[in-house]
Structure 1
Amino acid sequence: MGAANAQGPVERRGCDHIFFVGFLGAGKSTLARNLGRMFNRRYVDTDRMVERRAGLTVTKIFAAQGEEGFRVLETQALESLKSERSLLVSCGGGVIEMPRNIELIHEMGYCVYLDGDIRDSLRQIRRSDTRPDFRSPAHAARLLEHRRPLYRAAADFTVDIRRTSFTEVSYKVAELLLERGLL
């Protein structure tokens, strides 16, 4: 972990949310759910929020409106979280593609980047038909390399998830956030 991950309490930001970012299959939703159960905190998934608001699956939104249309809906979903407090938020893999989304995340709380490699992601992707930005393993590898610097730049904290189970990641992130007074 880098300088942004120095230990000790940190000043609260905005709504006191914790946002989880990372590539497809990094376990963001699983982590938010696990930590929510461990610490009795509400958790949300931005992709599910977009689906509920649009009345369509992410795949259908991409097909009808393209990635640009989806990103607009994703930003609206993030903006709606301003009226909430202390959420654990699983973000879609491409949330960092829009600078406004990163601004919103930092206004409302802290960003935890789950840093894995392409093998971790490919192992977790069970149904590629529900992942509109997954076209092939080669495309996914290129997309990860494009997004990795964006994730790193957005992150307040980075957690290496390589060769680590979801349970281990949950405990590692819980410890990180507890040490900083964020859980």
Structure 2
Amino acid sequence: MQDSSGGYVVHEGCDHIFFVGFLGAGKSTLARNLGVLFHRPHVDTDRLVERALGKTVAQVFAEDGEAAFRDAETRELSRLSARKSLLVSCGGGIVERPENCELMHEMGAVLFLDGDLADSLRQIRCPERRPDLGTAEHAAEVYRHRRPLYEAAADLTIDIRNKTFEQVAHEAGQLLWERGLL
């Protein structure tokens, strides 16, 4: 990393920051807002898959199945290696495949937004767009399965429980800045 003439930090190589966590944790909003604040582009893996396949996530799950979605997710994730300095909001299930976790670590750092299931469910505005959520019981099962996967993938973790979005954004920005990642 070096200081460029404009006062911005210039990172060498692929230096993405990947935001992981359960559905509704605020990954997309955080990536978008930190992107604006720190002048870094942001992408969302679910939107990348939707563009690549020409279907919504819900349509892919319904018409092609979860495996087809996960295959496309891995393809889109691997394509990010050709880009630089992205803030990447990851779909909640990206940690389901170990190869995705390896790709993220090869390309940058992983920040886990650690929250409670109940908080996540309250934040989800369009549950019909979340095909892997299902019933409350199924959501709890998915959460219990994925939480250790998020923990294992994380380079950094922020506990988002009982915090406003502003508090989480401030903490994430400060932590990433202090580590030289922003």
TM-score, normalisation: structure 1: 0.92
Instruction: Report the aligned-residue RMSD.
Output: 1.1
Distance in 2 separating the partners of 1:40 and 1:143? 34
Distance in 2 separating the partners of 1:166 and 1:67? 30
Tell me the CA shift for residue 125 of structure 1: 1.1
Tell me the CA shift for residue 16 of structure 1: 0.4
Distance in 2 separating the partners of 1:121 and 1:137? 12
1:68 and 2:76 matched: no
One-letter amino acid of the counterpart of residue 134, structure 1: L
2:118 corresponds to which residue?
A: 119
Distance in 2 separating the partners of 1:60 and 1:150? 26
Query: Which residues in structure 2 correspond to 1:168-183 (within 5 Å)?
Result: 168-183=167-182
Distance in 2 separating the partners of 1:76 and 1:165? 34
1:140 and 2:139 matched: yes
One-letter amino acid of the counterpart of residue 177, structure 1: L
Distance in 1 separating the partners of 2:36 and 2:176? 15
- 1:123-172 CA-partner distances (Å, limit 9, x unpaired): 11122110000111221111111000000000000100011111111110
2:86 corresponds to which residue?
A: 87
1:102 and 2:97 matched: no
Distance in 2 separating the partners of 1:121 and 1:158? 16
Distance in 2 separating the partners of 1:39 and 1:95? 25
Distance in 2 separating the partners of 1:14 and 1:28? 24
1:5 corresponds to which residue?
A: none
2:7 corresponds to which residue?
A: none
| Secondary structure of the corresponding residue to residue 65 of structure 2 | helix
TM-score, normalisation: structure 2: 0.92
| Secondary structure of the corresponding residue to residue 19 of structure 2 | strand
Q: Is the 8 A contact 1:14 1:109 kept in 2?
A: no
Tell me the CA shift for residue 57 of structure 1: 0.2
- Runs of 4+ in structure 1 displaced over 4 angstroms? none
Number of matched pairs: 172
Change in CA separation of 1:145 and 1:14 when aligned onto 2, cut-off 3 Å: farther
One-letter amino acid of the counterpart of residue 167, structure 1: E
Distance in 2 separating the partners of 1:172 and 1:117? 18
Distance in 1 separating the partners of 2:12 and 2:69? 27
Percent identical residues: 60
Tell me the CA shift for residue 60 of structure 1: 0.3
- 1:85-134 CA-partner distances (Å, limit 9, x unpaired): 00000000000001110010000000000000011111111221100001
Distance in 2 separating the partners of 1:71 and 1:125? 21
| Secondary structure of the corresponding residue to residue 80 of structure 2 | helix
Farther-moved stretch of structure 1 (105-114 vs 132-141) = 132-141
Q: Is the 8 A contact 1:43 1:89 kept in 2?
A: yes
Tell me the CA shift for residue 13 of structure 1: 8.3
Distance in 2 separating the partners of 1:108 and 1:159? 20
